[in-house]
Amino acid sequence: MTTHTHDRTQSSGPDPAGLDLTDPQTFLDHDPHDMWRWFREQSPVHWQQVSGSPMPGFWAISKYADVVGIYRDNKQFTSERGNVLTTLLQGEDSASRKMLAVTDGQRHREIRNLMLKSFSPRVLEPVVAGVHRRTRELVGQALERGRLDFVTDVADHIPINTIGDLMDVPAADRERLVEWNTQTLSRHSSEDSALDELMARNEILLYFSELAAERRKNPGEDVISVLATATVGGKPLSEDEIVFNCYSLILGGDESSRMSSIGGLIAFSEHPEEWRKLKDGSVGADSATEEVMRWTTPAMHFGRRALVDVPLRDEVIKAGDVVTLWNSSANFDEDVFSDPYVFDIARNPNKHVAFGHGPHFCLGAFLGRVHVNAMVEALRTMVSEIRLDGPPQRLYSNFVHGYSGLPVTLTAEGAPAPGAQG
């Protein structure tokens, strides 16, 4: 794992023309900062050919201003044909006009307003306390153990339980959902097949279909009950709308904050001066949380399809073209972030796009921040030293930037530091 604080003015990145952004291996083989800086400088509106796909290719947008501009523009660009590269290249998304993320226009507004009620800070107030409590408990258990895998022993257990509480998912089923989630959005390695992804997705949909049927008969206070019993314009939501939106919540609510918490721990272990600033209180947890979100950017991209011809810089995006918006490049754009390759927990302003932007801005952004904030707070108050005991295991994905394993030793505040032999 490299640290990205050194000067990059001399570096020459890979030629964008030779990179395949559809291949998860690309993101493991190349330093992302070198790669994206090269795109921003040489080919900010880049046409990527795709072999072996019904689609001729797609646009990769890497400058912050362009990414934010397209996120805002739901008149000339649509999410309804898919919002991630894999589904866009297949030509469609089976959840189109059923799931919030891939619905536009009036229906998007109606369903979003319905779901926003369950995600308002006021409604989530008791949930926030639970997140902080659970995080402290897990970090406490980790400290008793000393050596552990931060992914499977700590991070995997926090967001799924929060979103599980919000949806009233039985505790016994939650571990299975985490496993399905990981398979759906990314793979542990290139040996996992696309069929595994599809099967995992179907398992999640089937699971929520059964749960929604139950809630329709016996509704509670949870989000699934809200969806299962709601009416829009006098009509209940369709079975597909209920199930796909549950699926979307469990995916979005779990994966990104997990990956940010893991990436944040790595960042603090690699940047001791920032760790000290957090520990001595010279920078607060809220500011540190925003920088962890920017630095880790778990959702590397989102996608759209152009509805009309749109000129952008020296190119014309044609109606029907697939456009990918690379958050992992935008969040390190030198035109917006000074010293973007420096992990700076006091960074201000910090207008990152880790949660997207515009009409499809992540519904669970408040909750995502709460999760990362709780982890930052728990580390700040309970942990004196973080030591990585081996290389982090990166996920095999062109969508989620994250980890499936991270061996660490955590030392409790006030405990003697472990010897070099561990």
Answer whether 125's CB lies under 8 Å from 392's CB: no
Tokens of 48: 């990527």
pTM value is 0.89
What pLDDT, on the 0 to 100 scale, is given for residue 408?
98
| Secondary structure (H, E, C), the chain | CCCCCCCCCCCCCCCHHHCCCCCHHHHHHCCHHHHHHHHHHHCCEEEEECCCCCCCEEEEECCHHHHHHHHHCCCCEECCCCCCHHHHHCCCCCCCCCCHHHCCHHHHHHHHHHHHHHHCHHHHHHHHHHHHHHHHHHHHHHHHHCEEEHHHHCHHHCHHHHHHHHHCCCHHHHHHHHHHHHHHHCECCCCCCHHHHHHHHHHHHHHHHHHHHHHHHCCCCCHHHHHHHCEECCEECCHHHHHHHHHHHHHHHHHHHHHHHHHHHHHHHHCHHHHHHHHCCCCCHHHHHHHHHHHHCCECEEEEEECCCEEECCEEECCCCEEEEEHHHHCCCCCCCCCCCCCCCCCCCCCCCCCCCHHHCCCCHHHHHHHHHHHHHHHHHHEEEEEECCCCEECECCCECCEEECEEEEEECCCCCCCCCC
Answer whether 152's CB lies under 8 Å from 222's CB: no
What pLDDT, on the 0 to 100 scale, is given for residue 191?
65
How far apart are alpha carbons 51 and 146 in whole angstroms? 48
Mean pLDDT of each 10-residue bin along the chain, 422 residues long: 36 73 94 96 95 83 98 96 90 86 93 87 86 96 95 91 90 88 67 76 92 94 92 93 88 83 97 98 98 97 98 97 98 98 98 96 90 97 97 94 96 71 40
What pLDDT, on the 0 to 100 scale, is given for residue 195?
79
Answer whether 362's CB lies under 8 Å from 371's CB: no
The CATH number assigned to the domain with range 43-410 reads 1.10.630.10
β-pairing verdict for 322-326 and 57-61 = parallel
Q: Measured between alpha carbons, how far is residue 86 from residues 83, 327, 397 in Å? A: 9, 16, 10
Tokens of 354: 């880790």
Answer whether 399's CB lies under 8 Å from 370's CB: no
